[in-house]
Chain A
Amino acid sequence: MKEELFVSGRNIPFIDPVLHIWHWQIPLYLFVGGLAAGLIFFSTYFYLTGKEKEYPIAVQVAPFLAPIVIVLGLIALLLDLRHPAFFWQLYTTIRFDSPMSWGAWTLGAVMPLSVLWPLSYLTEIRAYFDGKNRYIINLIDWIFKMMKQYWIIEWVYKLSIEYRKPIAIVNMVLSIILGVYTGILLSAFNARPLWNTSLLGPLFLVSGLSTGAAAIMWMAKSHHEKIAFSKIDLILIGVELFFIVHLFMGFLASTAVQQEAAGLFLGGEFTAVFWGFFVVGGLVFPAILEILELYGFKIPISIPAFFILFGGALFRFIMVDAGQITRYLY
């Protein structure tokens, strides 16, 4: 039997291990990226399928959150760089081999377009927040005032209304790329066995869409819209659970390094937080509440919505944290 008694590691104090180099910034960035993708996707999808009247909050109001959270994500990303003053170097080349590179370009494109989309619904958003949130109303009024002063802002505003459809199409495509990208960013690293699976792209996309749906049902006013997004969320949670089972089946049938990576979640140090807080707390528990709701129990929609959002964020923190300590053994 071969048993490794010890590996001294690097014979210099302080430097081993240096594996853990991504802290809260990257998982936060991945979370808001997925959330923004979900918000934009549902908004543009239901607009393009002509359900604007049926789901007014999803189409007209919710996407105003997208540019706000994207800016948060960009700030987090910037804080993660050790040389933030050089961030513009990202935009001097496009390297298709590097997910970090095309992700930066995707975000660069999503950012202005995600502003353009809710901009066309400014009056509807104002009506939604009237009497609810003074700050947002003040902000929107300020934008309208600026429009009167600077013709260019008004011109962009008119443009966004006039070309709503093409803007919606581009936004929808970009939102899917953004959602998949948050997973591919990790799965491209073959040196980190936990991340190195092609399932991560679809898994992160589905998880991002479900957080987006949760945010929409939280904001929705009509019972009809709340129930519709609750149902969408239920389906997405089902798909997510299906992917998670497959993820672990794949790991366990794979090489020693991936079995070891899966071990972190099957008895290892991440077992309790992954299964207890994420799978049960962030997926199963809100799903049960939503099912009860569908059967007519009175449950404030904010509770399952909160747990889904919380679970989505936690999932990214766990994956980024755990992935960084998995490695090749030699």
Chain B
Amino acid sequence: MQKVVIIGATSAIAEATARRYAARGAHLFLIARNSERLNDIAQDLRVRGAAQVGHAVLDVADLTAHARVVDDLWGQLGHVDVALIAHGTLPDQSACEASVEVALHEFTVNGTSTIALLTALAARFEPQGSGTIAVISSVAGDRGRQSNYLYGAAKAAVSTFASGLRQRLFKVGVNVLTVKPGFVDTPMTRNFKKGALWAKPDAIAKGIVRATDRGRSVVYLPWFWQPIMLIIKHVPEFVFKRIKL
């Protein structure tokens, strides 16, 4: 039976992923900041077949609380097969431009907190010598765009950090998976007009579970974002700075 930990477990993508693990009979442990919603999700996952579902409350912006939560995890579970970090916000870019405080807080939630969690998890996974640490980054981290470069910069930090961590943990048999979703129809993007490029959370969840099972390093979800981002990354800066994206 797999033991799966999810941080940011109330996220739509995370919940869809948890349902897939529940249907397999996994033992789940959910972490998020809203305890009422955690309760509802835990109940649902039990009905869907999870062997056991535990949960704990954490506001990831409270960096000092991370160590205790991660220690508790191993205290309760003894061993973790998969840890998925899924929390995030979509900052209002213009608010980040107007206020350094807002910008740094958003960077903390989307970048620093994730790096802190990856560090704490790595310290536990390394001696364990097995398992997967999966982290949801974003295609937005592949290149800064004027419409959301604070978010992009935080996700870029996460992707780069995960790449280094992957090299480090590969030696001991722990996989680090970087997930880069494109546009996903979730509460985070509720104000956007949805078009053909948009995916449902369950499609992303399916990709996350599969990539975890197969020990992949980096996945773009859905797959077509890989060629799209390849092109976007290679547009020369003198052209890129002139276009609206």
Partners in one complex: no
A residues bordering B, Cβ < 8 Å? none
B residues bordering A, Cβ < 8 Å? none
